Structure 1
Amino acid sequence: MFSQLFVAVYLALFAGATPLTVRSPPMTISLARHLNSTGSRTVLELDQMRMEFLKQSATRKGPKSASSDTAASIPVTNGIISYFAEVQVGYPPTNFSLIVDTGSSNTWVGGNPGNPYTPTSTSHDTGMEVFVEYGTGLFEGEEFIDQVSLAEGLLIQNQSIGVAGFALGFSNTTDGVMGIGPTDLTSDTIEIGELVPTLLDNAFAQGLIDEKKIGIFLKPTNNESVTTGEITFGSIDRSKLTSDIHFVNITSTFPANMSIGVNQSIAYGNTPILNNSAGIMDTGTTLILLATDAFNMYQQLTGAVLDESTGLLTITPAQYDNLQSLFFTIGGCTFEFNSNAQIWPRGLNAAINGVANMIYLVIGDSGSGSGSEGLSFLNGQVFLERFFLAFDAENSRVGLATTRFTNATTN
């Protein structure tokens, strides 16, 4: 009698209980930071080319709407600094080192002739051509469906990848690109014109991650090549944060809304230099590019002088001592970009053909005015090395938080 009553009560309680949700841990991939040769172009020129191409490409395609699947192909300029992730494709797997880019969404391999893509038992050739135009070149090849391993426990099946037949604008040692931007950026990149599910799309659809989110953690360094960052699929690695993460909706302003775009205003100290306007968070841009009017005001306030050989502003040690913080206000939350964050790492001056011990600023001129064609700024790697970036693809949101490197004096 007792045992029957116990079982009945137990089953009743069990049936009425809230189910226990078991969440998957974040899937984390290390990022290696490499310096590239810029050839005859300066780092500023490469960043400006990326921004200009973004505008031109978006204008040709037309504004994005809720009923339209058209989108611009955003450039992956081979800038002075790239962040690489190691991935494995096929079975038996081939290892590839891919540039991680928030400004594009196609993933492709085979750009390095010494490390070609070889079809395996998991490969399927769709026969479709893939074509993505870039600010300094292009990628052209054939679409395959294959398995892609990003980390232990993150083996993505039936992933579309491009296999390079021809790539221009990348070094011969670059294997390819891992695009982690919005899915809309894949529109018109394969010949049938359909959207291509991204790595994040498939990881979420296949139940490998709980949330359709990506977190990017970078940190400043004076070393040329070093593992200095992480990308997390599925959730936010809060161990990297020193503040709550502040989310805002992706901007509605075209063409910034086609990428990881936000609205922000900027002040130098207490002096506003950029009114609230739209731009993009971008791992493929090295510097912070500001609209020309904002850049001119920044130069005037800092007393900086333009260096013709690098295209960057320079200041004296005395001016650096008096350099005030920049304050970026995004969705009502203000992020302080201190004086050390505003200068190029002095240990890497040679990489930009600069003079040893010269102080170069990382704020550059976009070449167009505020609000011009929907882009007033690009917050590149130098910004993202100070603040954690989250992309919530499911809810079209962007998040930022401080890290232990936000106020670092590394540079």
Structure 2
Amino acid sequence: MFPTVSLLTTILLAFSITVSSVEVSNSPITLPIARRLNVSDGIINLLQRDKARMAALRDSSLSHAGLGTSISNVGNSYLLAVGVGSPPKTYNLIVDTGSSNTWIGAGTPYVKTKTSVNTGRAVSVGYGSGFFSGTEYLDTVTLGQGLTIPHQSIGVASSSSGFAGVDGILGMGPVDLTLDTLTKEPKTTIPTVTDSLHSQGTIQREVFSISFEPTNSQPVTNGELTFGETDAHKYTGAITYTPITTGQTASNYWGIKESISYGSTTIMSSTDGIVDTGTTFIFIATDAYKKYKSATGGIPDSATGLLRVSSSQYKALKNLNFHIGGETYTLTPNAQLWPRALNTYIGGASKAMYLVVSDIDSANGPGFDFVNGYPFLERFYSVFDATNSRIGFATTAYTNSEIN
């Protein structure tokens, strides 16, 4: 969810792709993150929420009038317990690579302590499914043991909408996505938490990595967030890097180039899109989606909006291959399924088979043709490296898991 202008989308330097393992220290600074489907209001239409997110991510017009643009899919959230103040009070924040502002106050009220400094500056971010507005504070933010940031800029919401059940967002996007979010100070950016950790010397490189494990349970702590480096226990083989794209829209986010094939058939030629923890499904351009739909035989389901396949169609499914930076990352047929144990949460039939690939609702070509959301990230380790303007991926022990 990056404010161009997350739920639960900059860097423009290009360089040659390298294949290597990132150097790992003996003690990675790693924090647990938990996945939670927010069912407080009953059945959740995750596809509809994702669709609203896609529209806002592509629409730079929302930045006019001083609003940064972000999207948060609060229906499917990945939460980190974050301490604010001294002594710290805990807030459950969405870990969002699609936005960069960190803010609290949607649920648990902000408690001022001896480290709280009111800057008096108004801050506001518009989201496809809501918004927050309030005041910027500087305060001590504690992300975990050894990860304390004094004088971190945070937004304290005086009003917000669309964030039931969570306290706010931990923005993990590029710092440029905070541009214009201080409503009376255009062209001003705000340091992100990763920015601050790097500038104060806590981490040597402005990089973080994310590990998810496929799950059919809810809620569950099935992820880890590592700052400054990677955790070699969480991936297999080597990490392959690809540069941040220079494409017009995707470059505002954690954007890359990729092509996609279904089996041996190319359904999407090399184009620009983003990698995003705040998107529940995988989205591809309309022409590619039509090819995928035809090849799988999937029928749009009226209840969930997802493609539904029969048992025989599932048995005939082929691998979905993502070609990125000279490497191929494969989603097996099982990895293309929504977890059947969670069908009822999204209004689906309990034993039905739903595919996690959906239509981004725009034809190939506008510079924002795909989003590799959670179904991709739960199968591949991901490294977001702002220092070197690149993203890395590696296989994991769960890449070919048959959990769905």
TM-score, normalising length: structure 1: 0.89
CA contact (8 A) 1:266 1:329 kept: yes
| 2:289 is equivalent to residue 295 of structure 1 | yes
Q: Which amino acid aligns with 1:197?
A: P
2 CA distance for matches of 1:268 and 1:381?
Answer: 19
Shifted more, 29-38 versus 313-322: the winner is 29-38
Q: Where does 1:303-322 land on structure 2 (aligned, <5 Å)? A: 303-322=297-316
- CA distance change for structure 1 residues 336 and 22 in 2, over 3 Å: closer, same or farther? closer
Letter paired with 1:33? R
1:188 aligns with 2:191: no
Query: Does 1:103 pair with 2:95?
Result: no
Partner residue in 2 for 1:333: 327
Secondary structure class of the residue paired with 2:79:
strand
Return the alpha-carbon distance in structure 1 between the equivalents of residues 234 and 169 of structure 2: 25
The answer to whether the 8 A contact 2:43-2:345 is kept is no
CA distance in 2, matches of 1:85, 1:365: 30
Partners in 2 of 1:258 and 1:180 — Cα distance?
13
Aligned residue number for residue 176 of structure 1: 168
- Give me the identity figure in percent: 45
Aligned-pair CA distance for 1:169: 1.1
Number of the residue aligned with 1:43: 46
Q: CA 1:72/1:404 → structure 2, altered by over 3 Å: closer, same or farther?
A: farther
8 Å CA contact 2:68, 2:124 repeated in 1: no
The unaligned stretches of length 5 or more in structure 2 are 1-22
Alignment of 1:111-126 (within 5 A): 111-112=106-107, 115-126=108-119
Asked whether the equivalents of residues 220 and 410 of structure 1 are also in contact (C-alpha less than 8 Å), the reply is yes
CA offsets, 1:81-130, max 9 Å, x none?
11000110110110111000000001011111xx2111111110000011
Distance (whole Å) between structure 2 residues aligned to residue 378 and residue 80 of structure 1: 18
Q: 1:73 Cα shift?
A: 3.2
Q: Map residues 180-259 of structure 1 onto 2, 5 A cutoff.
A: 180-190=172-182, 191-193=184-186, 194-259=188-253
Cα–Cα, structure 1 residues 151 and 333, in superposed 2: closer, same or farther, change >3 Å?
Answer: same
Equivalent pairs, count: 379
In the alignment, which residue of structure 2 is the partner of 1:162? Answer: 155
1:64-86 deviation digits (Å, cap 9, x = unpaired): xxxxxxx9834232343110001
For 1:130, give the aligned amino acid. Answer: V
1:14-93 map, 5 Å: 25-37=27-39, 42-56=45-59, 58-59=60-61, 73-93=68-88
Separation in structure 1 between the aligned mates of residue 272 and residue 219 of structure 2, nearest angstrom = 32
Q: What amino acid sits opposite 2:265 in the alignment?
A: T
- Which of residues 112, 116, 120 is equivalent to 1:127? 120
Moved over 4 A (4+): 21-24, 38-41, 59-62
Tell me the distance in 2 between the aligned counterparts of 1:336 and 1:296. Answer: 20
Q: Which amino acid aligns with 2:369?
A: S
AA paired with 2:297?
Answer: G
Per the alignment, residue 142 of structure 1 pairs with 135
TM-score, normalization: structure 2? 0.90
Q: Tell me the CA shift for residue 308 of structure 1.
A: 1.3
TM-superposition CA deviations, 1:210-244 (whole Å, max 9, x none): 22111011111111101000000010112101121
Offset from partner CA, 1:333-356 (integer Å, 9 cap, x none): 111111111000000000110001
Taking the aligned partners of 1:59 and 1:255, their CA distance within structure 2 comes to 12
> Deviations along 1:10-65, whole A, 9 cap, x unmatched?
xxxxxxxxxxx996832111001100247787222211111111111x25659xxx
CA distance in 1, matches of 2:157, 2:308: 40
Cα 1:59/1:397, change in 2 over 3 Å? farther
Q: Distance in 2 between matches of 1:41 and 1:51?
A: 17
Q: Which amino acid aligns with 2:79?
A: F
C-alpha RMSD over aligned residues: 1.9
Tell me if the contact between 1:145 and 1:161 (Cα under 8 Å) persists in the aligned partners.
yes
Structure 1 gaps of 5+ residues are: 1-20, 63-70
Mapped to 1, the partners of 2:24 and 2:311 lie a distance apart of: 54
- Structure 2 counterpart of 1:276, one-letter code: S
Change (3 A) 1:46 1:188: same
**Matched residues in 1 for 2:330 and 2:318: separation?**
10
Preserved contact between residue 75 and residue 104 of structure 1 (Cα < 8 Å): yes
Check 1:246–1:354 CA distance in 2 against 1; reply closer, same or farther (3 A cut). same
The answer on whether the counterparts of 2:53 and 2:73 sit within 8 Å (CA) in structure 1 is no
Please say if residues 141 and 163 of structure 1, whose CA atoms lie closer than 8 Å, have aligned partners that are also in contact: yes
